[in-house]
């Protein structure tokens, strides 16, 4: 149990109460003033970012969003992390209803706010925090609200994330396997950080209450089934699932079984900490021919197989803040000076595998320099790209089965994409 909240307050940036809901009758509106005075005291303190405060028998937990503070006060020995998570869910629900959560949107929708707070928490315990469920019985249109008396299907159903009675003419599932590659290379050309963060993003348009089963080339699963794993299996780390996945089933036999939410959601995220070879390697040589002219020679090389192609490649090359009048030549793509970034941005729409391309640039510098010049800031080279039909980890969807009691056939579509995450190469 999350622990009981005594009351929930919504305050403006000056600490004035906009809305508050008393759930247990053991705190008063004065607690909001106590909270804000404690918040002011903490400003400038090393612990000023702490979202929990305690004073005179009351625990205060809060989050700030835009110009609004959301705060829970409790006299109970409560689970602070759960109640802070609840506050974040309140933010998500309000944004779903009002587009933006700020002081003005709260003032414009007082009635709706109170209705939502009553449904989301009962006697200080979190209840419904899914916006899709709340929308089934709290319907708003600008400042008008209609409340239907019947509870939504999802509330009376064990599957809270999916409504019953969904109907589609065409039953389809779209699964995107997206991997973000994080690379940091130091000025000596050594890789000091390398990992892959992956996600399985799904969009489901399915009739009824379908059961889905997903199979991956997961080493633990394949070995448990007695299958050969040489060169075809991967070791997934830090796996996190959407709440719809049956965790007990996964822990027992590594089967990913679930009844999916309707529409878009993240089914699973994972990480691989194995050493990753940089997919696009960039080298830059900078030569000063005089105090007023600098020349840059850049080589970009794709280090993946020829059958793959990187798209929307963007290489951000740092230049001195006082550089001007660039002259650029390249044998692929286009390059433009971006003075707001102090960088030369080289864009390549299509970069085939196992290829190397070059760029030459010449910049002019002021002929007169300050006597006390500040040390030159050495920003890294930053790279962005996408490689469709490719994953660094080698993860593969072996099967995606959709079973529904009516027996309809559903079309599953699977797509693989590798993208640059935090991808930086430092200059020598």
Of all helices (H) and strands (E), which one includes residue 142?
none
pLDDT of residue 417: 96
Query: For the chain, how many residues are written?
Result: 428
Give the confidence band of 303 by pLDDT, cuts at 50, 70, 90. very high
DSSP string, 155-213: HHSS-TTS-S----SS-EEEEEEEEEEEEEE-TTS-EEEEEEEEEEEEEEE-SSS-EEE
Q: What is the per-residue pLDDT across 135-157, written as a single tens digit (0 to 9) for each?
A: 777 766 534 334 444 455 555 55
Predicted confidence band of residue 261 (pLDDT cuts 50, 70, 90): very high
Question: How far, in Å, CA of 387 to CA of 350, rounded?
Answer: 10
- Mean pLDDT for 296-320 is 94
Lowest mean pLDDT among 38-52, 123-137, 138-152: 138-152
Q: How confident is the model at residue 177 (pLDDT cuts 50, 70, 90)?
A: very high
DSSP string, 208-277: SS-EEEEEE-BHHHHHHTT---TTT-B--EEEEE-TTB-HHHHHHH--EEE-PPSEEEEEEEEEE-S---
Q: Phi/psi zone of residue 129: left (φ > 0), alpha (ψ -120 to 50 degrees), beta? A: alpha
Dihedral sign computed on CA atoms, order 156, 161, 164, 165: positive
Sign of CA dihedral 383, 389, 391, 397: positive
Report the pLDDT value the prediction gives residue 151, as an integer from 0 to 100.
52
Cβ atoms < 10 Å from Cβ of 65:
18
Dump pLDDT digits (tens) for 316-334: 999 887 777 788 999 999 9
Report the distance separating Cα 409 and Cα 95, nearest Å.
36
pLDDT higher than 80, residue 48: no
pLDDT at 311: 96
Strand order, beta sheet including 52-55: 17-22, 7-12, 68-74, 58-65, 52-55
pLDDT at site 155: 52
Question: Using one digit for the tens of pLDDT, what is the confidence trace for 340-374?
Answer: 888 899 999 999 999 999 999 998 877 655 544 45
Residue 208 in this model has a pLDDT that exceeds 90: yes
pLDDT for 336 beyond 70: yes
SS3 87: helix
Question: For 33-53, what is the mean pLDDT?
Answer: 73
Can you tell me the distance from the alpha carbon of 10 to that of 6, in angstroms, rounded to the nearest whole number?
14
Looking at residue 13, its pLDDT comes to 83
d(CA 48, CA 210): 48
> What is the mean predicted confidence (pLDDT) over 255-260?
92
At residue 148, the pLDDT reads: 46
In what helix (H) or strand (E) does residue 398 lie, and over which residues does it extend? strand 397-403
CB 249 within 8 A of CB 257: yes
pLDDT at 116 over 70: yes
* pLDDT (mean) for 209-221: 81
Tell me the pLDDT of the chain averaged across its residues: 84
Rounded Cα distance between 416 and 397, Å, is: 10
Query: Model confidence at 104, in pLDDT bands (50, 70, 90)?
Result: confident
| 1-10, 112-121, 383-392: segment of lowest average pLDDT | 1-10
Which pLDDT score, from 0 to 100, does residue 143 have? 43
**φ, ψ of residue 102 in degrees (nearest 5):** -155, 175
Domains and CATH numbers, the chain: 7-156 (3.30.450.60), 172-276+392-425 (2.60.40.1170), 280-388 (2.60.40.1170)
Share of the chain above pLDDT 70, in %: 86
Mean pLDDT for the stretch of residues 382-405 = 92
- What's the pLDDT score for residue 222? 57
């Amino acid at each position: 149990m999350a622990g009981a909240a005594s009351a929930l307050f919504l305050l403006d940036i000056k600490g004035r109460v906009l809305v508050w809901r008393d759930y247990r009758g053991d705190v008063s509106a004065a607690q909001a003033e106590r909270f804000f005075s404690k918040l002011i005291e903490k400003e400038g303190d090393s612990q000023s970012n702490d979202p929990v405060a305690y004073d005179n028998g009351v625990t205060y937990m809060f989050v700030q969003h835009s110009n609004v503070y959301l705060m829970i006060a409790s006299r109970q020995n409560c689970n602070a992390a759960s109640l802070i998570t609840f506050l974040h869910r309140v933010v998500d629900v309000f944004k779903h209803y009002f587009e933006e959560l700020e002081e003005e949107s709260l003032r414009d929708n007082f009635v709706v706010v109170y209705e939502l707070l009553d449904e989301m928490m009962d006697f200080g315990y979190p209840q419904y925090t899914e916006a899709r469920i709340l929308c089934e019985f709290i319907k708003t249109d600008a400042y008008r609200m209609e409340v239907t008396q019947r509870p939504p299907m999802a509330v009376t159903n064990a599957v809270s994330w999916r409504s019953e009675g969904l109907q589609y003419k065409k039953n389809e599932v779209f699964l995107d396997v997206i991997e973000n590659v994080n690379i940091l290379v130091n000025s000596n050309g050594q890789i000091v950080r390398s990992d892959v963060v992956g996600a399985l993003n799904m969009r489901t348009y399915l009739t009824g209450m379908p059961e889905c089963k997903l199979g991956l080339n997961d080493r633990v699963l394949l070995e448990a089934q007695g299958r050969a794993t040489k060169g075809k299996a991967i070791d997934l780390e830090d796996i996190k699932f959407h709440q719809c996945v049956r965790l007990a089933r996964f822990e027992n036999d590594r089967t990913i079984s679930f009844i999916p939410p309707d529409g878009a959601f993240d089914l699973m995220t994972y990480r691989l900490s194995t050493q990753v070879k940089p997919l696009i390697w960039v080298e830059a040589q900078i030569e000063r021919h005089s105090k007023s002219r600098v020349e840059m020679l850049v080589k970009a090389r794709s280090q993946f197989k020829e059958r793959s192609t990187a798209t929307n490649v963007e290489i951000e090359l740092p230049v001195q803040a006082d550089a001007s009048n660039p002259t650029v030549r390249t044998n692929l793509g286009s390059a433009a000076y971006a003075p707001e970034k102090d960088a030369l941005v080289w864009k390549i729409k299509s970069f085939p595998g196992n290829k190397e391309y070059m760029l030459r640039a010449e910049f002019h510098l002021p002929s007169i320099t300050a006597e006390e010049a500040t040390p030159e800031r050495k920003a890294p080279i930053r790279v962005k790209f996408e490689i469709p039909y490719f994953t660094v980890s080698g993860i593969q969807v072996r099967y995606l089965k959709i079973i529904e009691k009516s027996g309809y056939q559903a079309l599953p579509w699977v797509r693989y994409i590798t993208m640059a995450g935090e991808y930086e190469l430092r200059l020598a």
